[in-house]
């Protein structure tokens, strides 16, 4: 009988990052919010596409470039269809693409709130070892320790002690891994054999707090 509980957490951020830009109407720097709409222009065989943002204070607009002067033959067919239909799923993916946003500005307001969907891969709460597999399709600035502290109701100080004692490991390993942003495909392994509340921690790994 396995004493390892393996669960997958799929992380979905709740609020898209907001670029901080100079607003010509406000006369200062303001956060801009994704409007959920795109703009597509054609000039012969070449296309320009933007994601439209609005100033959080005055509703002035900023067009975030998706691509410019690109030959229509070099545009992904699915992306083109999504642009033409203002597909909300595709637009959400673009809005949460913080690496793409960083190509436009270096001042970005980020949010750590997220929804965590849990799925049991194997094992039960009667375990002495917990393995959490992270699925984070979109980039996130949420730190590993904040995620674990919130979802397992374990203090960050305790998590740090567990890591220092070799009872919490991250795969792949990284210096100050608990303080780094979550990454898709990474694993968190907790040795709970000496923890009096191991059943409660395991239960929280399966159920939202």
Q: What is the pLDDT of residues 146-205, one digit of tens each?
A: 999 999 999 999 999 999 999 999 999 877 889 888 999 999 999 999 999 999 999 999
Residue 1 has pLDDT above 60, yes or no: no
Average pLDDT taken over every residue of the chain: 92
d(CA 47, CA 164): 53
Cβ–Cβ under 8 Å, residues 131 and 7: yes
The domain segmentation of the chain, as residue ranges, is 4-14+112-206, 18-109
d(CA 171, CA 177): 9
- Is pTM, for the whole model, over 0.75? no
Cβ–Cβ under 8 Å, residues 64 and 16: no
Give how far Cα 150 sits from Cα of 28, 99, 116, 135, 201, Å.
35, 25, 11, 17, 12
**164 token code pair:** 């220092």
């Amino acid at each position: 009988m396995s004493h390892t509980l393996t669960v997958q957490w799929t992380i979905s951020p709740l609020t898209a990052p907001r670029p901080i830009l100079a607003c010509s109407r406000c006369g200062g720097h303001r956060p801009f919010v994704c409007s959920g709409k795109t703009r597509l222009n054609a000039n012969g065989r070449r296309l320009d596409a933007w994601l439209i943002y609005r100033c959080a204070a005055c509703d002035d607009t900023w067009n975030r470039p998706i691509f410019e002067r690109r030959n229509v033959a070099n545009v992904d067919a699915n992306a083109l269809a999504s642009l033409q239909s203002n597909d909300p799923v595709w637009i959400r993916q673009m809005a949460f693409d913080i690496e793409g946003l960083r190509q436009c500005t270096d001042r970005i307001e980020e949010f750590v709130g997220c929804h965590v969907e849990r799925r049991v891969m194997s094992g039960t709460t009667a375990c002495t070892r917990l393995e959490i597999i992270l699925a984070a399709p979109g980039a996130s600035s949420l730190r590993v320790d904040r995620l674990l502290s919130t979802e397992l109701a374990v203090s960050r100080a305790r998590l740090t002690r567990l890591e220092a004692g070799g009872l919490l490991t991250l795969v792949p390993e990284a210096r100050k891994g608990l303080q780094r942003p979550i990454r898709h495909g990474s694993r968190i392994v907790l040795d709970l054999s000496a923890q009096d509340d191991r059943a409660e921690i395991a239960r929280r790994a399966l159920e939202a707090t």
